[in-house]
Amino acid sequence: MSRIHWLLLGVILLVYLVAGTLYATLTPKWQAPDEPAHYNYIRHLANEATFPELVAGCYNQAYLNELTSRRFPPELPIDSVCYEFHQPPLYYLLATPLFILSSGSLLALRLLSVTLGSGVVLLAFVIGQTIFPSKLTIAFGTMAFVAFVPMHVAILASVNNDALAELVLATLLLLMIRRLQSVDELSVKDNLLLGLLLGLGLVTKTTVYIAVPLTVLTLWLTEAQRQDTEQTRFDWSHLLKQGATIYGLALIIALPWYIRNINLYGSFDVLGLGRHDEIVIGQLRTLDFLAEVGGATYASNFITTTFHSFWGQFGWMAVPMDNRTYTLLTVLTLIALGGLVALFITRRLRLSVPGSVLLLMAMAVLLMFLAYGWYNITFVQFQGRYLFPALIPLGLFFTLGLSEALREERTWWLAGGLTLTLVWFVVTGLSSGLDKWAVLIIGLALGLVIARVMITPYWPKLTSLLLAACYAGLALLTLVSPFWFVVPYL
């Protein structure tokens, strides 16, 4: 990379660290989802030197409602909030020494999460560069997406095990991608490294468990590629030996925790999820909500709230961003989605990237969405932050789509799509009330697209500059959100 590329990487990382520090310092105590329960897990380890047990008294919906509605006043203790006590232990073991050294400082623990998150941001660039070594724009865009989704930064600046889970999963994805790209026979050491990281993921958080089927897919695709290269038969025994090494080591690492949970919770409840579902009495159930509002309203709430909370809905889902911001993000997302569709329809064979790598990334996204849907089958949990473990693949595809949509030859297609969107907003607004900000935002975007037709002959690198402008705007939104939304309302 050139000096300017290293400078850009440093700028993105620095802006992320500044934003993360802002969220960590300006977000009031406990005003991040589930933060008191995660904090109490660490405190239990520090004070008792034993792993905690999830019991019925750990969840009290009425008390939680009082805490959140009154914004965690000092006279209401959070000691009894312990419904995360079933979580795998690795993050809490890492955080306990810091808890002891800092005398239980909430800020210190939040900054630990910010630091772990910086590793995720850097790995986003490395993964993008590994997949597209000749297209650093894609790598920087993926990195910027991961660094500048406001809600993602807010979560990475709170006390929870998400940052470590994302870091482990990102490292696993990188190893899988390099395995798919390798032309050499992989050594036992490579398999042991993958098994070690997979095992650490199993004792970090259940969101990392999507790496289990992704590893199977990687092994199968690698063997299939070897078969095509060497013109040999598919070697099932070779595949099984690699799988036995990887999964055997991962199971050795996770097995003590599984046995502990079985002895503690019974019924082969290796993850404590059965006990968790038993104690969360009062949490809104999907069947009850469906019966109350109907399928159409449920689907509308599911899509809208998921989208809003993915980009930014702060506190305990109590502080959404304003509609103008969501409209702008909706337009940006639709542009990226349209560009991605166009890319795979018209330029799929010119991506110069092994299809197996893109398949792996797509499967990571799909599995994360399936896990999100599965969770919402039982409980109403329309929280887009649950998709963040797949944020690097999402950022990669988002950047690919956005860069394709901003290409010169897509200008009139983009203008047509924006025109149709503008017309739709105006027509629907005639009956329900015109959203002036939406019309203004889409109109401005359309004007910029049309203006580009006249500018392009004099500015051939405009596509990269427009992409950079999109992510610069996202970075600005991330930096100002603590002052616009978090501090005034929390």
Q: What is the pLDDT of residues 105-123, one digit of tens each?
A: 999 999 999 999 999 999 9
pLDDT score of 440 more than 80: no
What length does the chain have?
Answer: 490
Q: Does residue 352 sit within a domain? A: yes
65: CB partners within 8 A, 6+ apart = none
Q: Does residue 414 sit within a domain? A: no
303: left (phi over 0), alpha (psi -120 to 50) or beta: alpha
Q: Does residue 448 sit within a domain? A: no
Q: Does residue 430 sit within a domain? A: no
Give the pLDDT band of residue 176 (cuts 50, 70, 90).
very high
Split into its structural domains, the chain has a count of 1
Give the pLDDT band of residue 34 (cuts 50, 70, 90).
very high
Per residue in 318-345, pLDDT (tens digit) is: 999 998 899 889 988 988 988 888 888 8
Contact present, 233 and 227 (Cβ < 8 Å): yes
Q: What is the pLDDT, as a whole number, of residue 91?
A: 98
Q: What is the pLDDT, as a whole number, of residue 324?
A: 85
Number of H helices, E strands in the chain: 21, 2
Q: What is the pLDDT, as a whole number, of residue 432?
A: 66
Mean pLDDT calculated for residue range 398-420: 82
Phi, psi for residue 319 in degrees, rounded to 5: -125, 90
Give the pLDDT band of residue 349 (cuts 50, 70, 90).
very low
pLDDT score of 437 more than 80: no
Mean pLDDT calculated for residue range 334-363: 80
Mean pLDDT calculated for residue range 399-408: 86
Per residue in 202-237, pLDDT (tens digit) is: 999 999 999 999 999 999 988 887 776 666 677 788
Per residue in 49-75, pLDDT (tens digit) is: 999 999 988 999 999 999 999 999 999
Q: Does residue 452 sit within a domain? A: no
Q: Does residue 467 sit within a domain? A: yes
Q: What is the pLDDT, as a whole number, of residue 434?
A: 66
Tokens 């009495």 found at: 281
Q: Does residue 413 sit within a domain? A: no
Q: What is the pLDDT, as a whole number, of residue 347?
A: 65
Alpha-carbon gap, residue 401 to 338, rounded angstroms: 7
Q: What is the pLDDT, as a whole number, of residue 247?
A: 96
The per-residue DSSP string of 339-377 comes to HHHHHHHHSGGGS-S-HHHHHHHHHHHHHHHHHHHHHHH
Coil vs helix vs strand at 135: coil
Alpha-carbon gap, residue 389 to 191, rounded angstroms: 23
What's 319's DSSP letter? E
Q: Does residue 244 sit within a domain? A: yes
Contact present, 218 and 360 (Cβ < 8 Å): yes
Percent of the chain with pLDDT over 90: 66
pTM passes above 0.85: yes
Report the mean per-residue pLDDT for the chain.
Answer: 90
Q: What is the pLDDT, as a whole number, of residue 260?
A: 96
Give the pLDDT band of residue 459 (cuts 50, 70, 90).
low
Alpha-carbon gap, residue 391 to 369, rounded angstroms: 11
Helical spans, DSSP H, in 231-354: 236-265, 273-279, 286-293, 295-311, 323-346
Give the pLDDT band of residue 148 (cuts 50, 70, 90).
very high
Q: What is the pLDDT, as a whole number, of residue 487?
A: 93
Q: What is the pLDDT, as a whole number, of residue 355?
A: 81
Containing structural domain, residue 92: 3-405+460-489
184: left (phi over 0), alpha (psi -120 to 50) or beta: beta
Give the pLDDT band of residue 444 (cuts 50, 70, 90).
confident
pLDDT score of 311 more than 70: yes
Q: What is the pLDDT, as a whole number, of residue 58?
A: 94
Q: Which two tokens stand for residue 16?
A: 């992320």
CA atoms within 13 A of residue 252's CA, in its CB half-sphere? 10
Q: What is the pLDDT, as a whole number, of residue 466?
A: 81
